[in-house]
Amino acid sequence: MSHYFSEDVSVPLKIEKISEVILGKMYQFEIAPGVFSSKRIDKGTRALCEMMELKENHKVLDLGCGYGVIGIVASSYVSEVHLRDINKRAVLLTKRNIKLNNIKNASVSQGNLYEELDKFNTILTNPPISSGMDVVGLMIDEAPKHLYEDGNLQLVIRKGVNIVKERLEKNFEKVNIKKKYGYHIIFAS
């Protein structure tokens, strides 16, 4: 059985287009089955987009980017964004969505977590909680190695906040939690 957090998905490719206003700006996204939130932008993703804290000169990673919503929105506020997903279909859609939204400061790659990636000021993610704590735990545990000295990890979750917070506290000095739309947006630095 394939999941959106798998490299390959077996469901047929049927692309649809959606439009969404996020932070006052209109975005268009091509979406398809086999990628997370394949019918509409997930409320957790929207919450992170609306709450993320970014600086103009920052280099940002959208880890587990899906079809690219978080990274594409972030690209309006930072100098450089890299989007990464293990799912080949997600990467295809992200590339198309970068072009569709005329984004010039973003790149995308297919790969497992941080494999062959450099360092960033900020890592943004709506982690695949349904993949289990092994994958999410690796996303958290490996993040400090891929952050510049004053870097931070910003993630959104709805369930398992205590387990995730505990894991973050083992890897980061400060962990702050905010809420929006019933989701927890966690800032770790």
Q: Would you state the pLDDT for residue 27? A: 98
**Contact (Cβ atoms closer than 8 angstroms) between residue 47 and residue 126:** no
Q: Would you state the pLDDT for residue 12? A: 81
Domain borders along the chain are 16-188
CATH fold group of domain 16-188: Rossmann fold (3.40.50)
Which residues, 6 or more positions from 131, have their beta carbon under 8 angstroms from its beta carbon?
3, 5
Terminal-to-terminal C-alpha distance of the chain:
36
Helix or strand (DSSP H, E) at 71? helix 69-74
Count Cβ atoms below 10 Å from residue 39 Cβ, excluding itself.
9
For residue 2, is pLDDT > 70? Answer: no
pTM of the predicted protein model: 0.94
pLDDT 10s digits, 51-110: 999 999 999 999 999 999 999 999 999 999 999 999 999 999 999 999 999 999 999 999
Instruction: Indicate the SS3 state at residue 61.
Output: strand
What mean pLDDT is predicted for residues 121-147? 91
pLDDT 10s digits, 4-32: 555 667 788 899 999 999 999 999 999 99
Residue 29, class by beta-carbon neighbours within 10 Å (0-12 exposed, 13-18 middle, 19+ buried)? Answer: buried
Longest dimension (CA), the chain: 44
Query: Dihedral of the CA atoms 134, 67, 189, 24 (nearest 10)?
Result: -150
Count Cβ atoms below 10 Å from residue 160 Cβ, excluding itself.
14
Supply the DSSP symbol for 182. T
Residue that has been written with the tokens 């349904």 in this structure: 130
What is the percentage of the chain residues whose pLDDT exceeds 90?
Answer: 84
For residue 1, is pLDDT > 50? Answer: no
Looking at per-residue confidence, does 37 or 138 come out higher? 138
Query: What is the rounded average pLDDT for all residues in the chain?
Result: 93
Q: Would you state the pLDDT for residue 6? A: 56
**How do the residues of the chain divide into helix, strand and coil, expressed in percent and rounded to 5?**
30, 30, 40
